[in-house]
């Protein structure tokens, strides 16, 4: 077997940020290895990631996975990986202004991903969710009422401006894959909230279905390579976080407001 | 007066994320207008930003400031702006691998900036700090003990690997300006913690001094164009957040741990 063109280093049990990269590699039909999902005997497992984080792949030390190796190039940061892959894999047009715009949108997806993560980890990434539950409740409440409509409404407006079906209009690009993943993740993690907001997001819904039915993506989603959503990833299904009614939320927020005006 | 080459749209009262862009424009001696700092009668003020957020600069709708306009190009997202400016202003080498590495580092600075912001806003950006003080205490405690050493230790190791004085070794690039800003911000916001960790960061300290004394940066820092750090920005001086002793912090965390094992 010949060397694969790309080696992805990402946590083997979750979709996480790595999934945005996996979707791009899959859509392009790229030859890649998701190395930490191989057995340790074949150089896989989490140990493969730790080797890169120790600097064994050269001077461009990554801070965290996902990390992509492509020959001599080692690159981390999801949006930077996608920017690098995008032009190599034909997942973005050649026009640098288009490329910059797609990258800017990808960075906004990345910002949203941080906020989703922090709904269950508002205090510290080093603590378990169960150690920060009251704060997670409060953060999720604000996230669902303020941030979900703001971010998803923004992406809907981007599709409206482009004319759709994709972020670049008639031209498909890697950020469309990320918008699909973002929608699917929100549906998994926040089904009640999504049921309420999706009627106002017809273009995002159409994009999500169109990505789902692209032949290589459909094959990927049906394969064992697609790790199911689960409660170790970024999008987690903790129904208790969605359950609190907005009116109760408002009532709970009042003492904090009093504290503020008392200062 | 001829048209300036660049128009920066950023909140006029704070350094914030816009400062990373301002530093790059200043270092390059670029002709730019920091438009929201102009009076409203000259098209300035916050209203100038709101116009762009409404889409008045064309189809590439930004999600949030900073936003840069360069002729027909309108780009948002700090790291994307710097990537765009870097090659145009000679603040990054021509080698695409170097450019990708500098961008990757910039994205890691951006991740750290989000975490700094969330020390005072762990629950919601729409609430005031005073409305989320207990959570801010808890988040800051973990940030100072876990994340500050991890992030700053990482950047120190990058400089060690490059041989210094800059992230690319002998070649200066825009991420060095951002590392300067990151160090200065931490010193303002977390003086006690920085006093403790700086002895282990000799290369970051040397880089910070070297940036401070670059002629155009020195002139900028001495000018009225440099907005002082203040408690509306990302780096805020809330001494109470630094004051809690780590032992007390550990004691406070215990009930949460009990709750977890009880599940």
Neighbours of B89 (CB within 10 A): 18
Are A10 and A117 members of one domain? Answer: no
Residue-wise pLDDT tens digits, B188-216: 999 999 999 999 999 999 999 999 999 99
Are A100 and A195 members of one domain? Answer: yes
B217 part of a folded domain? yes
Q: In this complex, do A139 and B126 lie within 8 Å of one another by their Cβ atoms?
A: no
Are B18 and B106 members of one domain? Answer: no
| Chain B residues whose beta carbon lies within 8 Å of the beta carbon of residue A101 | 60, 75
Are A65 and A173 members of one domain? Answer: no
Domain count, chain B: 2
* Structure tokens given for A149: 């409509």
Looking at residue A81, which CATH number applies to its domain?
Answer: 3.40.30.10
- Tell me: pLDDT of B257 over 60: no
Residues 6 or more apart whose Cβ sits within 8 Å of residue B223: none
Are B209 and B112 members of one domain? Answer: yes
B257 part of a folded domain? no
The residue out of B88, B110, B127 marking a domain boundary is B88
Residue A170 is predicted with a pLDDT of: 98
Are A190 and A132 members of one domain? Answer: yes
A263 part of a folded domain? no
Q: How many whole angstroms separate alpha carbon B215 and alpha carbon B231?
A: 28
| Chain A residues whose beta carbon lies within 8 Å of the beta carbon of residue B114 | 111, 114
Are B221 and B142 members of one domain? Answer: yes
Domain enclosing residue A181, as ranges: 96-251
Do the bridges between strand A6-9 and strand A32-34 make them parallel or antiparallel, or are there none, so unpaired?
parallel
B256 part of a folded domain? no
B52 part of a folded domain? yes
Write down the pTM of the prediction: 0.93
Q: How many whole angstroms separate alpha carbon B17 and alpha carbon B64?
A: 10
Are B65 and B104 members of one domain? Answer: no
Q: How many whole angstroms separate alpha carbon B142 and alpha carbon B135?
A: 11
3-state secondary structure of A124: coil
Residue-wise pLDDT tens digits, B28-67: 999 999 999 999 999 999 999 999 999 999 999 999 999 9
Q: How many whole angstroms separate alpha carbon A6 and alpha carbon A25?
A: 9
Looking at residue A128, which CATH number applies to its domain?
Answer: 1.20.1050.10
Are B83 and B101 members of one domain? Answer: no
B36 part of a folded domain? yes
A38 part of a folded domain? yes
The residue out of B88, B110, B139 marking a domain boundary is B88
B168 part of a folded domain? yes
SS (H, E, C) A44-86: CCHHHHHHHHCCCCCCCCCCCCCEEEECCEEEECHHHHHHHHH
Q: In this complex, do B256 and A131 lie within 8 Å of one another by their Cβ atoms?
A: yes
Q: How confident is the model at residue B244 (pLDDT cuts 50, 70, 90)?
A: low
Measure Cα distances from B256 to A73, A131, B54, B262 in Å.
43, 5, 44, 10
Residue B258 is predicted with a pLDDT of: 36
Looking at the predicted complex, does its ipTM rise above 0.90? yes
Are B109 and B238 members of one domain? Answer: yes
The beta-carbon neighbor of A104 closest among B76, B125, B259 is B76
Are B40 and B168 members of one domain? Answer: no
Residue B262 is predicted with a pLDDT of: 31
Residue B169 is predicted with a pLDDT of: 98
Residue-wise pLDDT tens digits, A182-212: 999 999 999 999 999 999 999 999 999 999 9
- Tell me: pLDDT of A138 over 60: yes
Do the bridges between strand A32-34 and strand B6-9 make them parallel or antiparallel, or are there none, so unpaired?
unpaired
Residue-wise pLDDT tens digits, A206-261: 999 999 999 999 999 999 999 999 999 999 999 999 986 444 444 444 444 333 33
Q: How many whole angstroms separate alpha carbon B78 and alpha carbon A52?
A: 27
The residue out of A35, A63, A88 marking a domain boundary is A88
Residue A256 is predicted with a pLDDT of: 41
Are A215 and A152 members of one domain? Answer: yes
Residue-wise pLDDT tens digits, B101-114: 999 999 999 999 99
The minimum CA-CA distance between B190 and chain A, rounded to whole Å, is 18
- Tell me: pLDDT of A85 over 80: yes
Q: How many whole angstroms separate alpha carbon A119 and alpha carbon B122?
A: 10
The minimum CA-CA distance between A66 and chain B, rounded to whole Å, is 12
Residue of B129, B207, B143, B206 lying closest to B173 (CA atoms):
B207
The beta-carbon neighbor of B260 closest among A97, A100, A128 is A128
């Amino acid at each position: 077997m010949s060397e694969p063109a790309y080696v992805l280093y990402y946590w083997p049990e979750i979709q996480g940020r790595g999934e945005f990269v996996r979707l791009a590699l899959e859509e392009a039909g790229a030859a890649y290895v998701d190395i930490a999902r191989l057995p340790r005997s074949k150089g896989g497992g989490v140990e493969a990631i730790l080797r890169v984080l120790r600097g064994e792949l050269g001077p461009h030390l990554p801070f965290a996975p996902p990390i992509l190796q492509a020959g001599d190039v080692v690159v981390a940061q999801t949006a930077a990986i996608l920017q690098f892959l995008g032009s190599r894999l034909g997942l973005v047009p050649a026009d640098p202004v288009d490329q910059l715009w797609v990258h800017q949108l990808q960075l906004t997806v990345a910002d949203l991903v941080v906020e989703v993560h922090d709904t269950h980890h508002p205090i510290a990434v080093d603590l378990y969710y169960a150690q920060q539950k009251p704060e997670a409740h409060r953060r999720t409440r604000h996230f669902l009422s303020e941030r979900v409509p703001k971010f998803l409404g923004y992406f809907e407006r981007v599709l409206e401006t482009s004319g759709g079906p994709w972020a670049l209009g008639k031209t498909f690009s890697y950020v469309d894959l990320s918008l699909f993943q973002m929608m699917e993740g929100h549906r998994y993690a926040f089904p009640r909230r999504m049921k309420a907001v999706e009627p106002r997001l017809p273009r995002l819904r159409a994009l999500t279905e169109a990505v789902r039915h692209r032949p290589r993506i459909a094959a990927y989603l049906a394969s064992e390579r697609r790790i199911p959503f689960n409660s170790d990833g970024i999008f987690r299904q903790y129904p208790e976080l969605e359950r609190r009614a907005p009116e109760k939320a408002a009532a709970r927020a009042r003492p904090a407001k009093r504290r503020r005006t008392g200062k």
